[in-house]
Amino acid sequence: MAAEGFRGPKQLWNAFQWSMKGFRAAWRHEASFRLEACLVIVLVPLGLWLGDGGLEKFALILAPLLVLSAELLNSAVEAVVDKVSPEFHELAGRAKDMGSAAVFVLLILVVLSWALILGPRLLG
């Protein structure tokens, strides 16, 4: 008898397919996601190459991946807001702006982490 809430291979496969569908939708409909995905494609291998030890490598690749994750969430919020409230509403605009701000904060994290980790090596 299966335990309540057990997620077997079929459920895991379905979850994977839904995630891939989400990636495809973001790529197709969100220019910011495409740009940030390209950033990840460049920065993750660079971070693995330039990082000195596991913690530095982790920090250099985590920040760009967090940006991508936040962009996916921001795009999801925007899609729901547009569906629920197609006309302008102050709260809808605020929700969209806050999602954008979250992505911006993580972009700052990318710049800071890369500068703090690699800056001293480059400057001498």
Q: What is the pLDDT of residues 43-66, one digit of tens each?
A: 999 999 999 999 999 999 999 999
Which tokens is 22 given?
């989400």
Give me the catalytic one of 30, 71, 78, 90. 71
Q: Which residues of 54-80 are buried (b: 16+ CB within 10 A; e: fewer)?
A: eebbebbbebbbbbbebbbebbebbee
Measure the CA–CA gap between 117 and 11, rounded to whole angstroms: 40
In 3D, which of 105, 46, 18 has the Cα closest to residue 10? Answer: 18
Query: Residue 3 pLDDT more than 90?
Result: no
Is 71 among the residues known to form the active site? yes
Say how many residues make up the chain: 124
Q: Where are the domains of the chain?
A: 26-123
Q: What is the CATH number of domain 26-123?
A: 1.10.287.3610
Query: Residue 5 pLDDT more than 90?
Result: no
pLDDT the model gives residue 123: 87
Measure the CA–CA gap between 119 and 105, rounded to whole angstroms: 20
